[in-house]
Amino acid sequence: MRERTKDYQAKEKEIDFWLVAQPAFLEAPEMATIKAKCPQPSTAIISTNPQFITWLKLRLEFVITGEFPAPSETIPEPLAALETQANR
């Protein structure tokens, strides 16, 4: 992730991916099935670039891919994280 961030900065490209520890979007009702499959605590890498997600999936373990429209009524802040003891 750091290498990609540096690459984007060098190319003056806008960041299109985010790392979210304990993503709040997993609490949305439509995400119940996905959340049940995720080990806890979980981390999400969110991107607007589907090629990047495919590239990442080939390099990481325990990956679930999908997409969702956001912001929405049930996911108002797609990059929000749940507050944990570590975040306090």
Average pLDDT by consecutive 10-residue portion of the chain (88 residues)? Answer: 92 95 96 92 93 92 88 94 65
Q: Where are the domains of the chain?
A: 2-87
Helix (H, G, I), strand (E, B) or coil at 24: helix
3.40.630.30, 3.30.70.1860, 3.40.50.970, 3.30.360.10: which CATH number matches 2-87?
Answer: 3.30.70.1860
The model's pTM = 0.80
pLDDT tens by residue, 38-63: 988 999 999 999 999 999 999 988 88
pLDDT at 88: 47
Structure confidence at residue 84 (pLDDT):
60
Do 80 and 22 contact (CB within 8 A), yes or no? no
